[in-house]
Amino acid sequence: MRCSLAALRVTANNWEVRYSESIRRLGLSFKFPAFRSLTPASHRNASLPRTSFHTSASASLPSPGPQRTMSSLASSSKAVLYSFPLSVWSRAARFAAYDLEYIPDLIEVQDVNLDIGEQYALSYLRLNPNGTVPTLVAPPGSALNPSSRELVLTDSETIIDLLSLHAHPLGRTAPDAPLAAQILALLRDPNGADPRAIARAPRSEDEFRHIGLKLGVVHIYRQDALESTLRELAGVQAPWAEEMRRWVQKKIVQNQSLIQLWTEPNADATSRVELFKRSRILWGVRLPDTLRRVEELMVGPFCLGEELCAVDYTLGAWLERMVYAAGYRVAAHGLEAVEQKVGGGFKVGPKVRTLWETMRVRPSFELTFGVTTRLPEGVEGGLDAVERQLQQLSDGMISSNM
């Protein structure tokens, strides 16, 4: 049975109610809020030009200044890390921030819910014009920013580099920058095993049924957010507003095509056939090829040798996303789940496996990827519980719309 967009919006509203109720029963505080201002009061006047400087991964980081202990830095103003718990690159930045003990004393974490489009709120786009996470804002004179100007970083690798630089001012975390750059290029290659694409890569109709409707609902929420921002921009008279309007309009067109992709009821549609073809290439060719090449580049036991460094946090988050996309919980046998889904006798190399085993037992790994919220006794917790509830709701929605 074909569902109209209007019917899907009703379904989305019902899904929100049922999802929120399930979260309440689990004892979690997460909910679907109305779109709100995500940034501090000093950032909210969208009619004023930004005075902050934005740093990309290719830009040089400010000097950390004299070496100071973490405890001595705790009295400085906190930085804010805008992120989303299920975003792979947000998780990489959170992983580093937990592992280097910046959270909670030196960094406050602010969630930006990508599923309902909070990254497209005008207040957030004024902070990060790319509408992506993570974003780190360090006020002037704070532990991470001794300069007199606000520091805004909008790329996970730059954020992790900054955290590592301040944790180890003598540069012990970057013994081989060219090798680190090679590994990062593999992990973030949009034409390779992109972890964001892998998580949306069903190879068959059965796999599509598990994620399709949920993703369709997500993009409906995002479309509403984009349209709301476009309406808000109509009343803004500023030099930057026209460029942002064009960006939002382009996003609306792109997002509409994704709504159509994930809500298409015809299993024989060309878009569905092409999606399955791309997904099989991702799982069967690009993922094993990337893992083999990372294995060849790694020194071991960590990426660059004996000491954990910045690139290891990204690889740890990347591997966790592959385990998640393979349909398995983070566990000792998670990589076996990846091997099984890739098929063809593929095996993860010993250096990658050793790094995975080393990283997953770190307390910071569980804080980032495991149980993050205390639940009622007898309820298995963390993000896994939320994701299982989401899947059950999606399954029920699919059944009710057939």
Q: What percent of the chain has pLDDT over 70?
A: 70
Burial 151-184 (b: 16+ CB within 10 A, else e): bbbbbbbbbbbbbbbbbbeeeebeeeeebbeebb
Angle in degrees, CA 231, 232, 237, rounded to 5: 110
Residue-wise pLDDT tens digits, 202-219: 999 999 999 999 999 999
pTM over 0.85: no
Radius of gyration of the chain (CA): 21
Find where tokens 């109209």 sit.
4
Residue-wise pLDDT tens digits, 253-287: 999 999 999 999 999 999 999 999 999 999 999 99
Find where tokens 């992990």 sit.
187
Rounded CA separation 340/106 (Å): 41
8 Å CB contact between 74 and 106: yes
Q: How many CB atoms lie within 10 A of CB 125?
A: 21
Is the backbone of residue 305 left (phi > 0), alpha (psi -120 to 50) or beta?
left
CATH 3.30.420.140 is right for the domain spanning 41-170: no
Q: Is the pLDDT of residue 242 over 50?
A: yes
Residue-wise pLDDT tens digits, 159-172: 999 999 888 754 44
Domain boundaries, the chain: 41-170, 192-372
Q: Give me the torsion for CA of 31, 136, 297, 355, rounded to 10°.
A: -50
Nearest to 348 by CA among 289, 297, 278, 308: 289
